[in-house]
C-alpha cells in the first residue's frame, strides 16, 4: 500500500521510515500542504495522511476521489479541518488518531505555573538585569488555588491526574464523567466551576456548539483575577472578550497554546511579515499573557504515536474493506 504524506516534516521522517517498515507500506512524502494544486501528488496512492494546517474542501475531496484515494488519515485528534460528511458521501473514509495525552496535559499545567509565577514578566526584567522583588513578580502557590477543568475527555483527565500532585482543589465540568477521577476532582455544574475556579483550563473539542464557549457572559460569571488556559482550540475563546477582561483586570492572566485565527499562522516561518492578527499582537504585548504556537502536543513520544497511528489507521481501513 502507498500512503501520500502531506506536510511531511523533517522531524517526522525518522518515524515514517521506522513504521513504514514495521507495517510494510510505502510512504510518498510530500513537502507541501494539501491544496487543490497538490492533490495530484497523491496519484497512485490509496491513502493520504494529512495534518491540520489547511481545510480539506469539497473540491479537494472530489479531486482525491478522482485520483482513487480511498482513505484520509489526519495525524491529529481534531478533525474540524475536514468535511467528513462529504468525504463519506463520496466514498472516502476519514479517521483521526490518538496519541499520548501527556504532552498537552503537561503543557496546560506548565502554562498555569508560568502565568501564576509571572514567568514572562520575570524573564523580560531579567534580560535587563532587573532582579528586584516586588508585587509584580510575586507569584501564587498552586496548592492554594482551585483549578476548573472544562472537559474530562482523555486530555482533561490526564491534566486532572497530573495536577492532583500539586495539592490544589480540582473542579471539573464535562459530559463524560470518568470513574478514574473519583477522589481527585469534584464534578460540578458550569456555573459553579466558573464562579469558584482561580484557574480555568479548556479541554473540549471545537464543535459548532462549543464556539466561543468562553465569551463575555461566561467571563462575567468568573472570579476576579481568574487565569484562563487554552490548549484545546482557539475558537473556544472569544478573543475580544478576553482582551477586554484582561484590560479591566477581571481576568488576571492567560496561557494560550491556541488562539482563534491561528490556522494560517502557526507551523510556518513568518519572519519579516506583517501578520495582520491584531488580537494576537495585543495579547502578546501583555505581561500576564503567554502565547505558545500550538506546540502542546509536540513531544518525541506524541510525534512517534501520530506517525505510527496514522499508518495503522490506513492499514486497518484497507483491511476492513478487504
Ligand atoms: C490535534 O491533534 O488535534 C492537535 O491539536 C495537534 C495538531 C494540530 C498537530
Convert the pLDDT of each residue in 122-131 to its tens digit: 999 999 999 9
Which of these, 26, 91, 25, lies nearest to 62 by C-alpha position?
91
Please return the burial class of 83, using the count of CB atoms within 10 Å of its CB with bins 0-12, 13-18 and 19+. middle
Per-residue confidence (pLDDT) for residue 115, from 0 to 100: 99
Is the pLDDT at 193 greater than 80? The verdict is yes
Mutate to test the pocket of ligand 1, among 297, 299, 304, 305 (most ligand atoms within 8 A of CB): 297
Per-residue confidence (pLDDT) for residue 322, from 0 to 100: 77
Is the pLDDT at 202 greater than 90? The verdict is yes
Please tell me the distance between residue 115's alpha carbon and the centre of ligand 1 in angstroms.
23
Per-residue confidence (pLDDT) for residue 51, from 0 to 100: 96
How do strand 26-30 and strand 186-187 relate by DSSP bridges?
A: unpaired
Is the pLDDT at 321 greater than 90? The verdict is no
Distances (CA, A) of 304 to 17, 52, 145, 153: 11, 17, 35, 22
Task: Locate the ligand 1 atom nearest the alpha carbon of residue 78 and give its number.
Answer: 3
The partner residues of 185 in beta bridges, in order of sequence, read 182
Please tell me the distance between residue 89's alpha carbon and the centre of ligand 1 in angstroms.
25
Arithmetic mean of pLDDT over the chain? 97
Whether 77 is in the pocket of ligand 1, judged by its Cβ within 6 Å, is: yes
Per-residue confidence (pLDDT) for residue 123, from 0 to 100: 98
Q: What span, in angstroms and rounded, lies between the C-alpha atoms of 85 and 299?
A: 31
SS3 202: strand
Please tell me the distance between residue 155's alpha carbon and the centre of ligand 1 in angstroms.
12
Cβ atoms < 10 Å from Cβ of 99: 23
Whether 100 is in the pocket of ligand 1, judged by its Cβ within 6 Å, is: no
| C-alpha cell, 300 | 518525541
Q: What span, in angstroms and rounded, lies between the C-alpha atoms of 128 and 130?
A: 6
Is the pLDDT at 84 greater than 90? The verdict is yes
Please tell me the distance between residue 299's alpha carbon and the centre of ligand 1 in angstroms.
12
| C-alpha cell, 15 | 518515524
| C-alpha cell, 201 | 483550563
SS3 240: helix
Whether 78 is in the pocket of ligand 1, judged by its Cβ within 6 Å, is: yes
Is the pLDDT at 306 greater than 90? The verdict is yes
Please tell me the distance between residue 37's alpha carbon and the centre of ligand 1 in angstroms.
24
Whether 297 is in the pocket of ligand 1, judged by its Cβ within 6 Å, is: yes
Q: What span, in angstroms and rounded, lies between the C-alpha atoms of 289 and 252?
A: 9
Please tell me the distance between residue 294's alpha carbon and the centre of ligand 1 in angstroms.
8
Whether 288 is in the pocket of ligand 1, judged by its Cβ within 6 Å, is: no
Per-residue confidence (pLDDT) for residue 38, from 0 to 100: 97
Whose CA is closest to atom 9 on ligand 1? 76
Q: Please give the average per-residue pLDDT across 47-61, as a whole number.
A: 96
Q: What span, in angstroms and rounded, lies between the C-alpha atoms of 322 and 317?
A: 9
Whether 6 is in the pocket of ligand 1, judged by its Cβ within 6 Å, is: no
Q: Please give the average per-residue pLDDT across 152-174, as a whole number.
A: 98
Amino acid at each position: 500500500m502507498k500512503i501520500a504524506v502531506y506536510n511531511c516534516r523533517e522531524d517526522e521522517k525518522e518515524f515514517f521510515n521506522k513504521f513504514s517498515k514495521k507495517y510494510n507500506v510505502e510512504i510518498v512524502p510530500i513537502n507541501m500542504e494539501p491544496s487543490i494544486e497538490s492533490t495530484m501528488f497523491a496519484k497512485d496512492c490509496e491513502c493520504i495522511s494529512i495534518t491540520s494546517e489547511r481545510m480539506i474542501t469539497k473540491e479537494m475531496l472530489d479531486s482525491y476521489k478522482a485520483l482513487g484515494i480511498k482513505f484520509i488519515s489526519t495525524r491529529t485528534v481534531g478533525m474540524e479541518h475536514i468535511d467528513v460528511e462529504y468525504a463519506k458521501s463520496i466514498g472516502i473514509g476519514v479517521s483521526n488518531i490518538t496519541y499520548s495525552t501527556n504532552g498537552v496535559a503537561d503543557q496546560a499545567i506548565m502554562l498555569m505555573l508560568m502565568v501564576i509565577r509571572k514567568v514572562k514578566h520575570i524573564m523580560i526584567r531579567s534580560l535587563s538585569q532587573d532582579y528586584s522583588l516586588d508585587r509584580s513578580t510575586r507569584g501564587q502557590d498552586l496548592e492554594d488555588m482551585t483549578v476548573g477543568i472544562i472537559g474530562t475527555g482523555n486530555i482533561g483527565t490526564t491534566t486532572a491526574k497530573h495536577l492532583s500532585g500539586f495539592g490544589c482543589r480540582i473542579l471539573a465540568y464535562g459530559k463524560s464523567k470518568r470513574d478514574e477521577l473519583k477522589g481527585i476532582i469534584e464534578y460540578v455544574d458550569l456555573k459553579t466551576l466558573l464562579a469558584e475556579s482561580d484557574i480555568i483550563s479548556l479541554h473540549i473539542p471545537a464543535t459548532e456548539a462549543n464556539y466561543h464557549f468562553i465569551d463575555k457572559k461566561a467571563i462575567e460569571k468568573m472570579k476576579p483575577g481568574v487565569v484562563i488556559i487554552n490548549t484545546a482550540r482557539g475558537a473556544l475563546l472569544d478573543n475580544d472578550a478576553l482582551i477586554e477582561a484582561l484590560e479591566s483586570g477581571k481576568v488576571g492572566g492567560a496561557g494560550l497554546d491556541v488562539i482563534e485565527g491561528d490556522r494560517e499562522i502557526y507551523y510556518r516561518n513568518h519572519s519579516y511579515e506583517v501578520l495582520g492578527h491584531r488580537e494576537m499582537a495585543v495579547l502578546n504585548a501583555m505581561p500576564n499573557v503567554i502565547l505558545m504556537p500550538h506546540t502542546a502536543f509536540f513531544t518525541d513520544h506524541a510525534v512517534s504515536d501520530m506517525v505510527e497511528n496514522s499508518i495503522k489507521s490506513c492499514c486497518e481501513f484497507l483491511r476492513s474493506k478487504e
